[in-house]
């Protein structure tokens, strides 16, 4: 009788499985049967609907179709509606008990006619529940197409689904009844199988209890077949390997110590009470300490001095991994502290992994900045080239002279695109102060004219007015780099185009100041709020969040960085709702040359 509990458990499990199978089968069958029966019913109604749609507006078949519509409910148990843009042309009379549904059904039919008129589908199938009728209806709509291909109306079948629902319920009842009969028949075989399974398991259990008490002389019966025999052989083999396992555990502990000492990261394992269980010497070098420090202080002192001990306490108290990055002596150290949990879900301590990620962080930051800069800088010249290529490919430019001029501009843009790629690579070196940018006397007006010519098509496409002031004059040369100045202007003009609505005006103005020559990009766009002016040159910053303009928010930050590296001054003025002015001030070439000669 000792096996009675286990037998009962196995029996109840099998019975529960059969009952669950029955219930789930009925539920899923209900979900599957509804659409299946609906499709069957739709296939039954579709030929009839097509027949009516083909003959209802023809003189030869009109009388037949009207008779069929009039007697559809008596013959087939459904209602037929013929609808066109003027309303309901013909329909099957409703029974007196359902006369109140006339208005609802006409509304549904009109809606179905409107929806199928907007599509080219051969039919439309839908369902609707009408609580007033206490039933669910299948709606089949078929367009009525004339000989010329135009749609003259819609044939709509309204089929009550009460009979279909009754059929599904009957099938469900039959399914449940048969499952219960099978359940009753399976009781006796299940009990016999349960007793046969439990008897050898109980014998193996007694052997396992003896092994737990330290008695390894007993052996299980290995003559049983199948999994029971495999289990008995496994128990016998376990007794032989237990002594070897203890030795293996000792060997594993030694190897674990060697592995920990050979890891490139610092590791500290702390007991629940705060004492150190395990650590490696790499811990000290991660924090920039020499080998002599390990002789003067243990890891506990290092954790206290670095104020990392409270992270271990937090991990053990919350039973969650704590991850953070700390800075020490210009080092970025990643700290990952994981609680040590026993099989009983008791926190026995924590292990901390310390990794020097200084170089990795610097490389990642450099990579992100490089990718962002390249993406932003390449987009603008490609947009300008697209503005020239589209008229050419669409045949809008027919004059050979105009085509030649467009091709020349495209060639120049392609060459400038190549220079931009090279410039982005040089930008990283410039930021590191390894490669100075070559500067010379440059005509600011000539650079501005080239940029304006490249943007003429874009201004026309965006319905923007372009005004230029001072670029046709011949002002004194400035000291700078033409490509860098052009790069900044492209960024500012592109920024003005993005935030100026159609019909606005963008002005390119060149003026002379006492300490240099300035070029400004003025627009009548949405402007910038006063509190956002100090952030417009920040990386990834976008003031106009409502417009959701494309871009990464790097353009103005790149312009500011280039201007600072070349000794230019980039300023901004703006009034919200009135527009913005970005002004680039570049020193005169003669003044800088004179200053250099005076210093020499």
Give the pLDDT confidence score for residue 423 in this predicted structure: 52
Nearest to 556 by CA among 528, 536, 573: 536
Give the pLDDT confidence score for residue 540 in this predicted structure: 45
Beta-carbon contacts of residue 94 (< 8 Å; ≥ 6 apart): 73, 79, 101, 102, 105
> Looking at residues 510-514, what average pLDDT do you find?
85
Give the pLDDT confidence score for residue 581 in this predicted structure: 92
How far are the Cα atoms of 212, 234, 238, 414 from residue 244, in angstroms, in the given order? 16, 15, 10, 74
Beta-carbon contacts of residue 160 (< 8 Å; ≥ 6 apart): 77, 78, 133, 135, 136, 137, 138
- Over residues 4-43, the pLDDT tens digits come to 566 677 767 777 777 777 777 767 766 766 676 677 777 7
Give the pLDDT confidence score for residue 522 in this predicted structure: 92
Give the pLDDT confidence score for residue 521 in this predicted structure: 92
> Looking at residues 556-566, what average pLDDT do you find?
80
Give the pLDDT confidence score for residue 290 in this predicted structure: 64
Question: Is 80 exceeded by the pLDDT of residue 374?
Answer: no
Give the pLDDT confidence score for residue 577 in this predicted structure: 85
Q: Quick check: 462 and 501 in contact, CB under 8 A?
A: no
Kindly write down the DSSP assignment for every residue of 365-388, as one continuous string. Answer: HHHHHHHHHHHHHHHHHHHHHHHH
The pTM score is 0.36
How far are the Cα atoms of 33, 257, 269, 287, 288 from residue 276, in angstroms, in the given order? 66, 14, 6, 18, 21
The segment with the largest mean pLDDT, out of 238-247, 405-414, 425-434, is 405-414
Quick count: other Cβ atoms within 10 Å of Cβ 456? 14
- Over residues 104-159, the pLDDT tens digits come to 788 888 888 888 888 878 888 887 777 656 667 888 888 888 777 777 888 888 87
Which of 67-76, 291-300, 512-521 is predicted with the least confidence, judged by mean pLDDT? 291-300
Joined together, the tokens standing for residue 488 give 């900044």
Q: What φ, ψ does residue 248 adopt, rounded to 5°?
A: -65, -35
Quick count: other Cβ atoms within 10 Å of Cβ 253? 10
Strand residues in 54-196 grouped as ranges (E): 79-84, 87-91, 124-130, 135-145, 151-160
Question: Is 80 exceeded by the pLDDT of residue 431?
Answer: no
């Amino acid at each position: 009788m000792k096996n009675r509990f286990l037998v009962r458990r196995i029996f109840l499990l099998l019975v529960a499985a059969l009952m669950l199978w029955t219930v789930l089968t009925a539920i899923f069958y209900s979900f599957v049967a509804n659409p299946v029966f609906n499709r069957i019913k739709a296939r039954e109604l579709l030929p009839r609907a097509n027949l009516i749609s083909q003959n209802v507006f023809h003189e030869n078949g009109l009388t037949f179709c009207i008779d069929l519509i009039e007697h559809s409910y008596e013959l087939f148990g459904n209602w037929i509606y013929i609808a066109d843009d003027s309303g309901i042309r013909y329909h099957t009379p409703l029974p007196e008990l359902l006369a109140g549904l006339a208005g609802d059904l006409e509304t549904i039919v009109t809606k179905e006619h409107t929806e199928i008129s907007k599509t080219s589908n051969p039919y439309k199938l839908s369902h609707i529940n009408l609580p007033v009728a206490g039933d669910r209806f299948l709606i089949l709509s078929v367009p009525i197409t004339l000989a010329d291909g135009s749609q003259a109306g819609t044939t709509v079948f309204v089929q009550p689904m009460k009979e279909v629902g009754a059929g599904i319920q009957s099938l469900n009842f039959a399914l449940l009844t048969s499952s219960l009969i099978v359940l009753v028949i399976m009781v006796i075989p299940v009990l016999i199988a349960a007793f046969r399974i439990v008897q050898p398991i109980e014998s193996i259990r007694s052997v396992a209890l003896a092994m737990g008490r330290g008695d390894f002389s007993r052996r299980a019966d290995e003559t049983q077949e199948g999994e029971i025999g495999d289990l008995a052989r496994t128990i016998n083999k376990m007794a032989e390997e237990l002594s070897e396992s203890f030795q293996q555990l000792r060997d594993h502990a030694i190897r674990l110590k060697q592995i920990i000492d050979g890891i490139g990261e610092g590791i500290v394992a702390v007991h629940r009470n705060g004492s150190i269980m395990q650590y490696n010497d790499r811990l000290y070098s991660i924090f920039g300490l020499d080998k002599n420090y390990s002789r003067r202080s243990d890891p506990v002192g290092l954790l206290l001095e670095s104020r990392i001990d409270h992270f271990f306490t937090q991990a053990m108290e919350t039973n969650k991994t704590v991850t953070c990055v700390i800075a020490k002596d210009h080092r970025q150290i990643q700290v990952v502290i994981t609680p040590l949990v026993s099989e009983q879900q008791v926190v026995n301590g924590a292990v901390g992994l310390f990794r020097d990620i200084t170089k990795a962080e610097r490389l990642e930051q450099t990579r992100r900045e490089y990718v962002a800069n390249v993406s932003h800088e390449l987009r603008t010249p490609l947009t300008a080239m697209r503005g020239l290529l589209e008229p050419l490919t669409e045949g809008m430019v027919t004059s050979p002279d105009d085509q030649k001029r467009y091709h020349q501009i495209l060639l120049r843009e392609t060459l400038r695109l190549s220079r931009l790629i090279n410039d982005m690579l040089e930008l990283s070196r410039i930021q590191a102060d390894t490669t100075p940018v070559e500067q010379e006397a440059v005509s600011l007006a000539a650079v501005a004219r080239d940029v304006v010519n490249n943007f003429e098509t874009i201004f026309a496409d965006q319905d923007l007015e372009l005004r230029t002031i001072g670029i046709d004059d011949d002002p004194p040369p400035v000291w700078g780099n033409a490509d860098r100045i052009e790069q900044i202007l492209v960024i500012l003009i592109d920024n003005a185009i993005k935030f100026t609505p159609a019909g606005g005006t963008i002005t390119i103005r060149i003026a002379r100041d006492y300490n240099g020559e300035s070029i400004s990009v003025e627009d009548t766009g949405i402007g910038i709020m006063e509190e956002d002016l100090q952030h417009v040159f920040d990386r990834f910053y976008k003031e106009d969040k409502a417009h959701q303009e494309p871009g990464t928010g790097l353009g103005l930050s790149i312009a500011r960085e280039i201007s600072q590296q070349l000794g230019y001054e980039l300023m901004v003025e703006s009034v919200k709702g009135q527009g913005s002015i970005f002004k680039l001030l570049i020193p005169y070439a003669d003044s800088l040359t004179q200053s250099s000669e005076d210093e020499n």
